[in-house]
Amino acid sequence: MKPFATFYAVLVFLFFNNKIFAQDKCGTVPYMQQLYQQHKIDPLQVENWIAKKRLQQKNSPNQKNQNGVYQIPVVVHVIHKGEPVGTGVNISDEQILSQIDVLNKDFRRENLDANLTPSIFQPFAAAMSIEFILARQDPDGLFSDGIVRKQGTRSVWGFTTEAELKSQSFWPSEDYLNIWVTDLAGTLLGFAQFPFTTLPGLEGEPNIAATDGVVIDYEVFGSIDDGPFILDPQFNKGRTTTHEVGHYFGLRHIWGDDDGCTESDYVDDTPNQGSDTSGCPVHPQSSCGGVKMFQNYMDYTDDECMNLFTAGQVERMQIILDDETVPRRNSLLTSPGLEFPPGFTNDVSLREIVNPTPVTCIADELKIKIQNRGADPLTSCQITYQIDNQNPITIVPTFNPAINTSEVRELIISLNTIQDGAHTIEVNVDLPNGNADNAPSNNTLVKNFIINNTQEKAPLNERFTSDFASLKWLNVNPTGNLSWQSVNTNYETSAFYSNTTSTSQSTAWLVSPVIDFSTGLNAAIRFQYSFLDAQNGNEKFNLYYSDDCGLAYQSVLIDLTNSRTSTVASTIEDWEEQLIELPALIGVEKARIALAYSSNVSNGFYIDNIQIYDEAIGIKLEPEIAFLAYPDNDGNINVTLNLPDKNPGLIEVFDLMGRSIASQSYDDALNQTITLSTKPISFGIYIVRLQSTGKQYTQRILINPR
């Protein structure tokens, strides 16, 4: 690519509110120009220096460790708003581990989507021998898991508050790659400080060290492939951090930060392109007389479209890491943060109880995730589990290959038959490699679950007219005691959940019986909810669905909308409605659907009028309306049923003379839309009659044939 005379010290990843980047909204250029002017640095000298280093590097070995790998100690500073761990900005350890895993896979080219690199670019794609490691000791020499959590002095952060943000929590940047995760203002997703050199005239001022590192918005940190994290749909595979760490190691945007074909990223094997790329376009795309490498991590495409660094980019990053005149990069390779302090060689952590799930048909296996946080490879540990306070059962699995430091591994343990009903399981891991655990506080988890095989055939509805004890929908809180209740509303009674404490996050699941969709042409759910934001309650609402009776669930996050102004749902206007299609369940015989609300404090969350469909979805009707008849465009009559229970019945259409025009019987209709063929039919008024369980309903309808 052609040379360019400006090389920014800090580069930024900016997007519109709809997350599509527009270069005139970036703001990076004036910010960086000001930074260079402030420190009296000529950026062109940096590129001249790197060019010389490329020639010298061929005659000198890379400064890797004894295993031939660059090891980088990372500290993640989570600057939150006071939320409990695992909610809101105060993201979970699992989400942080996910991002570290993404960095390692992307830089090493071990990413699962590496095979999606177009064949034209395969010869240029390259792996870097690098390992990102969460810091094993802090600056005081004490044991660390590389994660620091701090309630910040602001609710959102940006460029103008950068120094204040980083002062909330900071470790010496010569020994640690500092990554700050927080809520960034507006459209900002992340930014990084570019490396400086101590060559004469290029040193910068000492305060540069106090801001060195990477800043990432919490909604783009981690990968949806590793858990049900709440992430931006376009940037949910951790590639924003990959992009910004690329900047941290000296990489420029692939298009050279210009609006034309004249400028450069100073890497020979990245094709010249005139501007950034947004979204996820179809390959190939042309620019500057060639094919765009929009799959490169240093472009602005969606995460699912990014999959490579080039050999030239890897070489450039190695130059930065190998040279002693680049402070706060080369020194990372010998950081004490890479070593465990004495006394923390043995630490096994229980990360998650995956199975049993909150509601399932059978619990024949215990599936857990454990992490080795000790200095030595983990070859064995002791696992003890106890169900419903029965006699505990202990096993001692051995691991071959051993579990390396920071590695998370899933274990499956067969369980004896557990009867239907509500249960509690407690799991403890201990004795890593047969030794006492140096940090036993992370060894134990408890989970509540229900085994239930009650089966219903779609369609279904639930109006919560009876006590939860007699409902077929199941009520469970996997990690706590708070659960759904039946309360009075304008719909007589509704399901209600409220967490009144701000000290802990709690999630309650409302789970359907096993649903048979095997003979339907559709799978969908419609329901109403009533919500009033509690402010800082970290509230979220998920729909989960399972195609295997509850052995595993997929998640759909539902955006919560304030529907009421008072704390009680008392009118129709206090409710919002959701309709969600679930095509993955079409034809499934043993499906489940769950609605789960989570908060650490709330004004109360209501659910009512759940309807599950396996055929066409008709017009939404209020509970007191038994059916609605209306003509379609082909001269037929559609009848949308809204019955409280499934029962046999008959639908008939009469003219005003009492003559039957059409009729259809059914065995177990509930909320379907049934089409009656009435062609040919004359203009006029007709009567539609519904008979079911000894009751009769009628409606007049005007037909105007086409």
Q: What's the one-letter identity of residue 304?
A: E
**Active-site residue identified among 47, 94, 244, 615:** 244
Distances (CA, A) of 548 to 138, 520, 555, 699: 45, 17, 14, 42
Map tokens 């009144």 to a residue: 500
Q: Which two tokens stand for residue 123?
A: 């010869």
C-beta separation of 590 from 514 below 8 A: yes
C-beta separation of 239 from 304 below 8 A: no
Answer yes or no: 244 catalytic.
yes
CA distance 704 to 635: 8
CA distance 31 to 173: 22
**Count of C-beta atoms within a 10 Å radius of residue 61:** 7
Map tokens 């890491």 to a residue: 321
Between the two ends of the chain, the Cα-to-Cα distance in Å is: 65
Q: What is the DSSP string of 420-473?
A: SEEEEEEEEEE-GGGS--S-GGGSEEEEEEEE---EEESPEEE---S-GGG-SS
- Of 261, 277, 216, 211, which is closest to residue 38 (Cα–Cα)? 211
CA distance 201 to 36: 11
CA distance 152 to 148: 12
**Count of C-beta atoms within a 10 Å radius of residue 174:** 15
Is the link from the previous residue into 172 a cis peptide, with omega within 30 of 0?
Answer: no
CA distance 650 to 660: 13
CA distance 555 to 551: 14
CA distance 413 to 367: 6
* Element spanning 411, H or E: strand 408-414
HSE value, Cβ hemisphere, 13 Å, CA-based, for 388: 8
The answer for residues whose C-beta is within 8 angstroms of residue 489's C-beta and 6 or more apart is 496, 530, 568, 569, 570, 606, 608
Helix H, strand E, coil C: the string for 476-514 is: ECCCCCCCCEEEEECCEEEEEECCCCCCCCEEEEEECCE
Tell me the backbone φ, ψ of residue 318, rounded to 5 degrees: -65, -35
- Of 478, 518, 473, 513, which is closest to residue 494 (Cα–Cα)? 473
CA distance 75 to 139: 11
- Of 673, 514, 699, which is closest to residue 592 (Cα–Cα)? 514
CA distance 573 to 369: 45
Pairing relation of β-strands 130-134 and 70-80?
Answer: parallel
Q: Which two tokens stand for residue 409?
A: 């591994």
C-beta separation of 281 from 295 below 8 A: no
Q: Which two tokens stand for residue 359?
A: 């509601």
Q: What three-state secondary structure class fits 111?
A: coil
Any idea which residues carry the catalytic annotation? 244
